[in-house]
A and B are shown apart, each in its own frame.
Chain A
Amino acid sequence: MAAVGAVSGGLTAVGFRPAGAAGIPEELPDHSRYLGPGVTDQPYGTPSQYEAHVIRRNVEWLTGSTESSINFTPLQDLHGIITPNGVFFERHHSGRADIDPAQHQLMIHGLVERPISLSVPDLLRFRPVDRIFFTECAANGGMEWRGAQLNGVQFTRGMLGCAQWTGIPLRTLFDYVGLKPKAKWVLAEGADAAALTRSIPMDKALDDCMVAFGQNGEMLRPGQGYPMRLVVPGWEGNMWVKWLRRLEVGDEPWYTRWETSKYTDLLPNGKAYKFTWVQEANSVITSPSPEKPMNGAGPHVIRGLAWSGNGRIKRVDVSMDGGKNWITAPLEEPILPKALTRFYLPFRWDGKSSLMLQSRAMDETGYVQPTIVDLRNARGTNSIYHNNSIMTWLVNPTGEVENVQVA
């Protein structure tokens, strides 16, 4: 473990050894000799006990209660673009509702020809679609507006997940009930004690929104809105109403608490943006990161994620010197609209130089991810939401990695 010794203590990474010493044990390990548990051991499987650190985490001081709070996806330990359901971040406003699907109804009413109520089995009689989309809390990175604050990619970009959602397009449901001519807005409401409500313009509803019941191949988890939730591709997570019980069609927005008091973006002049729905292009290097230090000189891979609510990621550039120079990183397939996109960039480290790692996403509209300085110049430091700025990881000569901001 000599190479690990070069990095600070507490590093849990396994398998790093001096070149040339393979570390083949002299004794045959137990798992190569004795029987393991049989197939009836785990009817619903869990990760290896050695992956017990891959969990959602909460930052206690962020909110007044855990019931109206957030936890974070462990981005630093995940691979590919699909977030496992068990570590998909949660944001509740009145705790996690536990709903018996046999009791659940989705009411569709307002400016429609035939108001109806749909049970879960009713919903399953429509033709579903499967689509991969990210959902990102509007407040993702919100603690970093004034400066580098939380030392980890999980805490600075982890209000984020991406899943294959299975559900019924709102287009199908609204065609089925028949929209009246003045139908311009949709109010979506949850069945939890917050009864969260958001107004969604009809164009968006008919374009790509869906009522999902499936997530990554299984029914939604209770924390994700079981038995049904709204999917609003590319738009702030708050609008993805969970435990969906009601869709009301109207001709004006409702200006609910979640689109006036919250999810409005305060500017230095005291005015605020409203209806800031889209999550603009964003990216982050997930490794190296504060949780994933560098382990010695030689070949390494920069791993990262990029995403845009305005469509596909077109390009991701990576800098190792804090933004002086950039190289374009190869993107991994699939590159889907409004979904997480992976990039991997192999590089060599001399094991002693400081690095300032950054990633910069560009989407198919030509939008380029801004710096925190660019964002502050436009919006100040009190807008809370929609911080999609370039993150900087300072790699120290020891290999430790820290969240810093640069100018």
Chain B
Amino acid sequence: MSKSLKILTLGLLATGGAAFAADPNLPKPGEIGSAVTPQEIARWDIDVRPDGLGLPPGQGTAEEGEQVWMDNCAACHGEFGEGVDRWPVLMGGVDSLSSDSPVKTPGSYWPYATTIYDYVYRAMPFGNAQSLTPDEVYALTAYILNMDEVVPSDFVVNAETLPKVEMPNRDGFIDDPRPDVKVASQEPCMKDCVKEVKITGHARKIDVTPEEGGGVE
């Protein structure tokens, strides 16, 4: 470490930087907590990665998923994934992302098919999470992918095939480039910065603020 860098590091410590250093009084291994067995880990470790790591044995097709969907999902998401009332829409929206009203569905937006399996298994149905078997979730994943016209109705979804399903918006994401606003990193103007200030929108005219506590009207 160069001398100047050393001074910089000390300076950071002296001004109380939040970053945490290693704890010199760390307990010895085994002193705190309980060792967990692979069986105990497996009970909670339900996450699935895009490369398929974490997918359990089992399989399902859209044809098999239809009844599971009608029994467990259609009440909120609609028979065809169109969404009832304000519940999420799960089909359509392809080519809508650059429009004024983008419709973000698994088919139009989600980059990885594995995320469907992971999310449905861990958190759906809303209000009765983790009540479905891996086979049922594979079948539902197939059903959703079929609604979104990503796979045919007889496509078998399992740990081998799911990671290979290429979602339409697979390449739609870019790493955070911020700060992306150029003026946001310049010395700001303090005097006579703009000639005229025009009001372009009034919240009061939109009038969607809850009455109670929303301003003084």
Q: Please list the residues of chain A having a beta carbon within 8 angstroms of any beta carbon in chain B.
A: 7-8, 10-11, 53, 55, 57-61, 63-65, 67-68, 74, 93-94, 107, 109, 113-119, 122, 125-127, 129, 131, 133, 147-152, 154-155, 169, 171-172, 175-176, 178, 187, 189, 193-195, 197, 206-208, 210, 233, 245-246, 248, 250, 252, 254-257, 260-261, 264, 266, 268-278, 280, 290-291, 293, 317, 321-327, 336-338, 356, 360, 362, 366-370, 374-375, 377-379, 382, 386, 394, 400-407
Task: Looking at the assembled complex, report how far the CB atom of B93 sits from the nearest CB atom of chain A, in whole angstroms.
Answer: 11
Task: Looking at the assembled complex, report how far the CB atom of A64 sits from the nearest CB atom of chain B, in whole angstroms.
Answer: 4
Q: Is the CB of B204 within 8 A of A178?
A: no
> A127 contacts which chain B residues (CB < 8 A)?
23, 25
Known contacts being A171-B20, A275-B176, is A255 close to B206, with CB within 8 Å?
no
Q: Is the CB of A404 within 8 A of B98?
A: no
Task: Looking at the assembled complex, report how far the CB atom of A245 sits from the nearest CB atom of chain B, in whole angstroms.
Answer: 7
> B110 contacts which chain A residues (CB < 8 A)?
260-261
6 A–B contact pairs at CB < 8 A? A59-B210, A197-B118, A233-B18, A255-B112, A274-B173, A325-B190
Q: Is the CB of A152 within 8 A of B215?
A: yes
Q: Which of B16-70 contact A (CB under 8 A)?
A: 17-23, 25-27, 29-30, 32-36, 40-41, 44-51
> B177 contacts which chain A residues (CB < 8 A)?
273
Q: Is the CB of A337 within 8 A of B17?
A: yes
The 5 closest A-B pairs by CB, nearest first: A322-B197, A270-B98, A270-B97, A147-B201, A64-B86
> A291 contacts which chain B residues (CB < 8 A)?
213-216
- 13 more contacts with CB within 8 A, not counting A8-B217, A291-B214, A293-B216, are A10-B217, A11-B216, A116-B36, A117-B33, A118-B34, A119-B34, A126-B32, A208-B19, A254-B47, A368-B186, A374-B183, A386-B178, A407-B198
Q: Is the CB of B109 within 8 A of A261?
A: yes
> B30 contacts which chain A residues (CB < 8 A)?
114
Q: Is the CB of B129 within 8 A of A255?
A: no
Q: Is the CB of A366 within 8 A of B215?
A: no
Task: Looking at the assembled complex, report how far the CB atom of B61 sits from the nearest CB atom of chain A, in whole angstroms.
Answer: 23
> B14 contacts which chain A residues (CB < 8 A)?
none
* Closest chain B residue, CB of each to CB of A405: B201
Which residue of B20, B174, B194 contacts A169 across the interface (Cβ within 8 Å)?
B20
Q: Is the CB of A367 within 8 A of B111?
A: no
Q: Is the CB of B181 within 8 A of A375?
A: yes
Q: Is the CB of B112 within 8 A of A193?
A: no
| A148 CA to B198 CA, complexed, in Å | 13
Most chain B beta carbons < 10 A, residue from A260, A336, A400, A405: A260
Q: Is the CB of B192 within 8 A of A324?
A: yes
Task: Looking at the assembled complex, report how far the CB atom of B216 sits from the nearest CB atom of chain A, in whole angstroms.
Answer: 5
> B32 contacts which chain A residues (CB < 8 A)?
116, 118, 122, 125-126, 176
Q: Is the CB of B173 within 8 A of A273?
A: yes
Q: Is the CB of A275 within 8 A of B44?
A: no
| A246 CA to B26 CA, complexed, in Å | 21
* Closest chain A residue, CB of each to CB of B25: A127
Q: Judge whether B85 is part of the interface by a CB distance below 8 angstroms.
A: yes
A-contact bits for B154-187, CB 8 A (1 contact / 0 none): 0000000000000000001111111111011110
Q: Is the CB of A266 within 8 A of B47?
A: no
| A200 CA to B45 CA, complexed, in Å | 17
| A377 CA to B5 CA, complexed, in Å | 38
Q: Is the CB of A256 within 8 A of B206?
A: no
Give the dominant DSSP class at A's interface.
loop
Task: Looking at the assembled complex, report how far the CB atom of B197 sits from the nearest CB atom of chain A, in whole angstroms.
Answer: 3
> B174 contacts which chain A residues (CB < 8 A)?
271-274
Known contacts being A252-B49, A256-B119, A261-B104, is A149 close to B206, with CB within 8 Å?
yes
Task: Looking at the assembled complex, report how far the CB atom of B108 sits from the nearest CB atom of chain A, in whole angstroms.
Answer: 10
> A337 contacts which chain B residues (CB < 8 A)?
17-18
Task: Looking at the assembled complex, report how far the CB atom of A249 sits from the nearest CB atom of chain B, in whole angstroms.
Answer: 12
Which residue of A63, A149, A255, A404 contacts B115 across the interface (Cβ within 8 Å)?
A255
| A252 CA to B198 CA, complexed, in Å | 48
| A189 CA to B46 CA, complexed, in Å | 10
Chain A binder among B120-128, B133-141, B145-153: B120-128
Task: Looking at the assembled complex, report how far the CB atom of A36 sits from the nearest CB atom of chain B, in whole angstroms.
Answer: 29
> B127 contacts which chain A residues (CB < 8 A)?
67, 94, 193
> B181 contacts which chain A residues (CB < 8 A)?
370, 374-375, 377-378
Q: Is the CB of B122 within 8 A of A172?
A: no
Task: Looking at the assembled complex, report how far the CB atom of A224 sits from the nearest CB atom of chain B, in whole angstroms.
Answer: 20
Which residue of A11, A155, A254 contacts B209 across the interface (Cβ within 8 Å)?
A155
> A172 contacts which chain B residues (CB < 8 A)?
20, 22-23, 26
* Closest chain A residue, CB of each to CB of B104: A261
Task: Looking at the assembled complex, report how far the CB atom of B122 sits from the nearest CB atom of chain A, in whole angstroms.
Answer: 4
| A195 CA to B50 CA, complexed, in Å | 18
Known contacts being A154-B213, A261-B109, A274-B175, is A406 close to B197, with CB within 8 Å?
yes
